[in-house]
């Protein structure tokens, strides 16, 4: 694999991991879910989300290694989908084969 391509892939997946580690979910507040569903004032709601779920129907696939922190992220994806309408599919991969899988997907994608 070329060094530049490998570095770009690592930067991309590091950024995904960083973004996934931020607290994106409410803690028991029904207000965020109501605003995301279009109920309420129509202002920007918790976490900077737009009301009305404008991204409903979008599907993201995230590749994560099997680590406790990533299992916690995977467990909360339903709450993220409820707030945003974005479905996230977590592809949990053992760390040893993660780079191989990234390389394969990158060079064999449509």
Cβ(60)–Cβ(5) below 8 Å:
no
pLDDT at 27: 45
- Residue pLDDT, tens place only, 67-87: 888 888 889 999 889 888 999
Strand, helix or coil for residue 63: strand
SS3 label, residue 91:
strand
Q: Residue 94, SS3?
A: coil
Tokens standing for residue 17: 């991991």
Identify the residue with better confidence: 18 or 55: 55
| d(C-alpha 55, C-alpha 42), whole Å | 15
């Amino acid at each position: 694999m070329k060094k530049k391509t490998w570095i770009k892939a690592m930067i991309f997946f590091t950024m995904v991991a960083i973004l996934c580690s931020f607290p994106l979910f409410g803690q028991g507040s029904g207000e965020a879910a109501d605003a995301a569903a279009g109920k309420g004032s129509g202002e920007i709601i918790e976490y900077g989300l737009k009301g009305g779920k404008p991204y409903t129907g979008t599907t993201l696939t995230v590749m994560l290694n099997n680590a406790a922190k990533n299992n916690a992220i995977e467990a909360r994806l339903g709450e993220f989908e409820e707030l945003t309408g974005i479905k996230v599919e977590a592809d949990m991969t053992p760390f040893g084969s993660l780079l191989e899988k990234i390389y394969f997907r990158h060079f064999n994608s449509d």
